[in-house]
């Protein structure tokens, strides 16, 4: 009987020791959260992240629910992902990844007052309603009505992604006229409007790289002739090598008709 009793006493001692150790760890000020670190952010302040995290003063580092902290932080519309990590003895680090706005999409309501700009990422996914300051400097995409926005299915996201791709390829080459707007249409495809003069450049669908090369040749020829276009169409699907150009009236250029 001596050996089983000794084993029981040993097990009981281990359990008691574990309980005492747990109590010490949970109650000891040594393991109270004294610092919440936040990785650098652009659109969200570290203070906002800490408030969203909701880690109370004097919280024990081992009892903080890290998954819950990360879920709270992800509620901010600018935050794409968040992860909370314990750093013994008294710090928690919150690693944050923000959304990267690729464009601002105008969602058109049935009345002008109901139209709103929303920010989208490079995948065409809307992540927040845009403020006036957030729209500044981003390509503007139009042609998405409220019904399409509310559905936000694969076709709508694909239209937005295509418009973003056209903008990026167009803007990649210096010297091209600055973009004012990109209009997406389910049938017509993408139409670009320049910021100065609102020249319409209809890309339609298909090989954007080839169409941009044709556009550059047209722009160079117009510059050589000192002419200005009001519309350039690169969307001829049957004969993609053909480009249609509508010139501005001579009087609008301040020149005499010849």
| Host domain of residue 212 | 103-253
Residue 204 belongs to a domain with what CATH number?
3.40.50.11690
Residue 55 has what pLDDT?
Answer: 95
The pLDDT confidence band at residue 198, using thresholds 50, 70 and 90, is very high
Percent of the chain with pLDDT over 70: 86
Q: Are residues 65 and 160 in the same domain?
A: no
User: Closest by alpha carbon to 64, among 49, 86, 39, 40?
Assistant: 86
Q: Are residues 39 and 137 in the same domain?
A: no
Are 165 and 139 spatial neighbours (Cβ–Cβ below 8 Å)?
no
> Tens of pLDDT along 94-108?
999 999 999 999 998
Residue 148 has what pLDDT?
Answer: 82
Would you say the pTM of this structure is higher than 0.85?
Answer: no
Q: Are residues 92 and 206 in the same domain?
A: no
Domain assignment present for residue 16? The answer is no
Q: Are residues 69 and 116 in the same domain?
A: no
Q: Are residues 129 and 194 in the same domain?
A: yes
Domain assignment present for residue 22? The answer is no
**Strand order through the sheet with 79-87:** 35-38, 91-98, 79-87
Burial code (b: 16+ CB inside 10 Å, e: under 16) for 53-88 equals bebeeebbbeebeeeebbebbbebebbeebbbeeee
Q: Are residues 109 and 80 in the same domain?
A: no
Q: Are residues 61 and 112 in the same domain?
A: no
CA–CA distance, 5 with 217 (Å, rounded to integer): 95
Domain assignment present for residue 248? The answer is yes
Q: Are residues 112 and 212 in the same domain?
A: yes
Domain assignment present for residue 92? The answer is yes
As for how many domains the chain has, the answer is 2
Q: Pick from 58, 81, 98: which residue ends a domain?
A: 98
Q: Are residues 113 and 239 in the same domain?
A: yes
């Amino acid at each position: 009987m001596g050996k089983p009793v000794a084993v029981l006493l040993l097990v009981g001692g281990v359990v008691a020791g574990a309980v005492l150790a747990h109590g010490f760890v949970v109650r000891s000020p040594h393991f109270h959260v004294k610092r919440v670190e936040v990785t650098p952010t652009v659109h969200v302040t570290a203070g906002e992240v800490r408030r969203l995290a909701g880690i109370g003063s004097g919280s024990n580092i081992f009892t903080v629910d890290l998954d819950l902290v990360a879920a709270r932080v992800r509620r901010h519309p600018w935050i794409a992902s968040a992860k909370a990590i314990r750093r013994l003895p008294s710090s928690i680090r919150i690693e944050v990844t923000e959304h990267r706005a690729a464009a601002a999409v105008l969602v058109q309501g049935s009345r002008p007052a109901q139209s709103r700009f929303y920010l989208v990422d490079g995948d065409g996914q809307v992540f927040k309603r845009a403020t006036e300051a957030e729209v500044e400097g981003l390509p503007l995409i139009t042609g998405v009505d409220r019904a399409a926005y509310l559905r936000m299915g694969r076709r709508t996201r694909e239209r937005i992604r295509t418009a973003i791709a056209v903008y990026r390829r167009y803007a990649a080459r210096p010297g091209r006229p600055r973009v004012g707007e990109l209009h997406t249409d389910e049938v017509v495809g993408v139409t670009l409007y320049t910021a100065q003069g609102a020249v319409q450049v209809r890309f339609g669908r298909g090989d954007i790289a080839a169409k941009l090369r044709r556009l550059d040749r047209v722009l160079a020829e117009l510059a050589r002739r000192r002419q200005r276009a009001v519309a350039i169409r690169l969307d001829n699907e049957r004969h993609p090598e053909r480009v249609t150009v509508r010139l501005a009236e001579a009087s609008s250029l301040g020149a005499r008709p010849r």
